Amino acid sequence: MMDKARVDLNGRTILVTGSPGFIGANLALRLLGELTGGTIISLDSMNDYYDPGLKAYRLGLIEAAAKASPVKHVFVKGSIADRALLEDVFERYKPSVVVNLAAQAGVRYSIDHPDAYIESNLVGFFNVLEACRHHPVAHLVYASSSSVYGGNKKVPFSTEDKVDNPVSLYAATKKSNELLAHSYAKLYDIPCTGLRFFTVYGPAGRPDMFYYSATQRLARGESIRLFNYGNCKRDFTYIDDIVEGVYRVMQGAPARATGEDGLPLPPYAVYNIGGGQPENLLDYVDALQRALVEAGVLPADYDFEAHKRLAPMQPGDVPVTYADSGPLERDYGFRPSIGIEEGLLRFAQWYMAYYG
C-alpha cells in the first residue's frame, strides 16, 4: 500500500483541463455537486476533432450546475499547448489541484494526424508540468490510457507490467506522459498520479467511440464494421465509474518522502481504472442493440444482422484490454461496478433525448 497525503478539495481552486470534454465535463459536474466551496476552472480548446456542439452542450450542463452550486466555475477557452495562456491561468487562479484530461484522443486518428498528438499530448503536458513546477500544487492527476499496454499478452494488465512496445503514436504519447510526470515528481517533488483509463463510454460521450458511432450509423440505416471479425475484448468502463475513481484519487496524493540517499523519493503513482470485466465485442453489440430498441432509438423489428460487417484488424488496435484494478481498490477503496447492460441503456436513453 502506498502512503497518501490527504487532499481536502473543499475551498480549493481545481483546474480541470479538457473540460468540457467527455470525462472532464462529468468530473466538473461531480465537483460542483459535491463540494461546499472553492473554484473549478474548466480549460478546453473546443476544437472540432468531433462535433463542437457536444462540448457546448456539456459546457451548458456545467454552467447550469454552477448556478445551483456553492462552488464557482470559470471557463477558459484555450489550448494547454499555449504556454503563455497556461502560465496566465496559474498566475491568476493559483490552482492547488490540477486534473489534466486535455489530450488529442483516438488511436486511429493518430495514424494520419500525428502532429495533433505531439502538440497536445507532449508539448501541452510539458506545459502543465512546468506550470505545476513554478506554481506548486498539492496534487497533479493526469489521464494516461490502457493503450500503453500495446499488444501485451499477459492479462489482466497490471501497472507492474512492462509497457515499452506501443502500437500507436497515441499510446506512445501517453507512455511519455508517465515518464515526464515521473521525472518532474522526482526533480521537483510534485505529487503526480497517472490514471490508465480503459474504454470509457456513456451519455454525451465521444462520437468517435465505437458504441456512439455504431448507434449513429445504425440510426441512419448504415452498416457497422466489427474489426478483427468481432474477436475483440474490451474492458468497457462506464463514465460514472471513471469519475468516481478520479474523484477519490484527487483526494489522496502520493506522500512526499525522503530516500536513504537523503534525496526526495518521487511522489508518483499510476493506477488502472477499468471495469475488470472484459466484454466480447459481439456481446457488447448485442447489449447495445437491446438498449437502442428499449430506448426507442431503433424499432423492435430492426434487422441488425443485415447491418453488420466483419472486418480485419485495424492498425494501432489491440485484440484485448483487461484492467487489474486491484491497487485502486486497495489504496482508494473503489472498484468500477456498472455493467454494460445498465451503462448502454443510459447512453441509449440520453441519445434518444438528445437527438430525438
Catalytic residue positions? 170
What one-character-per-residue DSSP string does 176-210 give?
HHHHHHHHHHHHH---EEEEEE--EE-TT--TTSH
CA distance 239 to 26: 8
CA distance 279 to 152: 17
Beta bridge partners of 225: 309
Contact criterion met (CB below 8 Å) for 150 and 163: yes
CA distance 223 to 320: 23
As to burial, measured by CB atoms within 10 angstroms (0-12 exposed, 13-18 middle, 19+ buried), residue 174 is buried
CA distance 250 to 137: 12
CA distance 231 to 310: 10
Q: What is the CA radius of gyration of the chain?
A: 20
Going by C-alpha positions, the residue among 52, 145, 142, 164 that lies closest to residue 105 is 145
Going by C-alpha positions, the residue among 100, 73, 99, 78 that lies closest to residue 89 is 78
CA distance 92 to 276: 41
The residues near 19 (Cβ < 8 Å, ≥ 6 apart) are 25, 27, 28, 40, 42, 43, 44, 62, 101
